[in-house]
């Protein structure tokens, strides 16, 4: 073993690059503090890797052979076939290796998702009018206004979680689905406004409460007392009184019934009424059933 490793070596750069002389007596390492001889290659490598001239029991053993650490034998780095300076010689001929390029299948490029309205906006317009134009006109809406909402919905979906993906659906099916959602939401929004909004004011005509235009009503000439009489005799107040009387006859709270009636007329739903009044949803549902019952009886009575 020692005969094959005799010679002068140098530790690796990260371990200080100390000179190591191997002979028949062991391994002599030249430390900055002096030379120390080690009886075996293992102790020499432990001292070099731990940067400790006198290894202690707790020092780590890298467990590498002498040839591997000093890059000898089969661990020797391959020598260059030519000198670096010889690369600049005019007589040097370097064989160019033949590179074989294997044919690879064409890369599939994923189609873009979303709808570019600048290019396909006219197609969206045609699909909308073909599928929903008559319905929108029957509802009484301007188709161009609804179309702008559809364009806005498509732009929002382009940046959201459900943009148009050609690998999942066709263009016509996706646009038809979006138009259906937008038209339904548009109709629901404006139907709610129609239910809660009133055009005109209640006014007296021949001792009868009628709905008149503001320009035809007598709001500017009647006094506050006359105006209060008109409001008290309106159909809404009359129906509210009927609801309170019905609640009293059934053992319910008349004030709560009247409050629920007023909130219902203002357009509030059951959950909102429960939040405003502080009552339970079951109690509010009971009051709403009472209000619907009284309203149905009143419509039958007046012949509506």
Q: What average pLDDT does the chain have?
A: 80
Q: Tokens at residue 247, please?
A: 């609640």
Q: Which residues, 6+ apart, have CB-to-CB distance to 61 below 8 Å?
A: 42, 46
> CA-based angle 20:24:25, to the nearest 5?
75
- Of the pLDDT bands very low, low, confident and very high (cuts 50, 70, 90), residue 7 is confident
Please write down the HEC assignment for all residues of 79-107. Answer: CCCCCCHHHHCCCCCCCCCCCCCCCCCCC
- Condensed to tens digits (0 to 9), the pLDDT of residues 160-219 reads 888 999 888 899 999 999 999 999 999 988 888 777 766 666 665 655 556 666 666 655
| pLDDT (tens digit per residue) in 44-92 | 889 988 888 888 888 888 888 888 888 888 888 766 555 666 666 665 5
Three-class DSSP category at 127 = helix
Task: Tell me the mean pLDDT in the region 22-26.
Answer: 86
Q: Give φ, ψ of 147 to 5 degrees.
A: -65, -35
- On the question of pLDDT at 265 being above 80, the answer is yes
Report the predicted TM-score, pTM, of the whole model to 2 decimal places.
0.35
Indicate if the pLDDT at residue 234 is higher than 70: no
> Which tens digit of pLDDT belongs to each residue from 101-124?
555 555 556 667 889 999 999 999
**Strand segments (E) across 11-50:** 19-23, 26-31, 34-38
Contact in structure between 65 and 89 (CB atoms under 8 Å) = no
Q: Sheet harboring 19-23: ordered strands across? A: 7-10, 19-23, 26-31, 34-38
pLDDT in tens, 136-158: 998 889 999 999 999 999 999 99
Res. 241: pLDDT tops 50: yes
Match 């009247």 to its residue by tokens. 258
Q: How far apart are CA 166 and CA 243, in angstroms?
A: 57
Please say whether the beta carbons of 135 and 142 come within 8 A: no
Concatenated DSSP letters of 144-173:
HHHHHHHHHHHHHHHHSS----TTTS-HHH
Per DSSP, the three-state class of 238 is helix
What are the residues whose beta carbons fall under 8 Å from the beta carbon of 252, sequence distance 6 or more? Answer: 286, 287, 290
φ, ψ at 201 (rounded to 5°):
-130, 155
Instruction: Report d(CA 176, CA 174) in Å as an integer.
Output: 5
């Amino acid at each position: 073993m020692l005969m094959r490793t005799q010679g002068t070596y140098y530790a690796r750069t990260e371990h200080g690059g100390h000179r190591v002389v191997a002979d028949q007596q062991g391994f002599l390492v030249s430390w900055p503090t002096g030379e120390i001889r080690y009886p075996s290659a293992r102790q020499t490598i432990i001292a070099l890797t731990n940067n400790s001239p006198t290894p202690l029991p707790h020092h780590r053993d890298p467990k590498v052979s002498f040839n591997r650490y000093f890059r000898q034998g089969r661990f020797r780095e391959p020598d260059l076939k030519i000198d670096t300076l010889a690369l600049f010689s005019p007589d040097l001929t370097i064989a160019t290796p033949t590179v074989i390029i294997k044919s690879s299948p064409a890369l599939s490029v994923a189609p873009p998702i979303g709808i570019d309205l600048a290019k396909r906006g006219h197609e969206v317009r045609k699909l909308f009018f073909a599928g929903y134009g008559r319905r929108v006109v029957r509802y009484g809406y301007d188709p161009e206004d609804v179309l702008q909402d559809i364009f806005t919905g498509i732009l929002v979906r382009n940046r959201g979680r459900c943009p148009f993906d050609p690998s999942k659906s066709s263009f016509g099916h996706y646009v038809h689905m979006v138009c259906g959602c937008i038209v339904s939401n548009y109709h629901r929004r404006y139907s709610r406004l129609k239910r809660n909004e009133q055009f005109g004011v209640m006014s007296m005509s021949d001792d009868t409460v009628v709905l008149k235009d503001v320009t035809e009503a007598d709001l500017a000439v009647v006094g506050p007392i006359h105006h209060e009489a008109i409001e008290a005799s309106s159909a809404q107040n009359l129906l509210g009184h009927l609801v309170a009387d019905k609640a009293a006859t059934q053992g319910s709270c008349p004030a709560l019934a009247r409050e629920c009636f007023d909130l219902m007329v203002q357009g509030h739903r059951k959950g909102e009424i429960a939040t405003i009044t502080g009552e339970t949803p079951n109690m509010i549902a009971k009051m709403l059933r009472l209000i619907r019952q009284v309203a149905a009886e009143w419509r039958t009575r007046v012949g509506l």
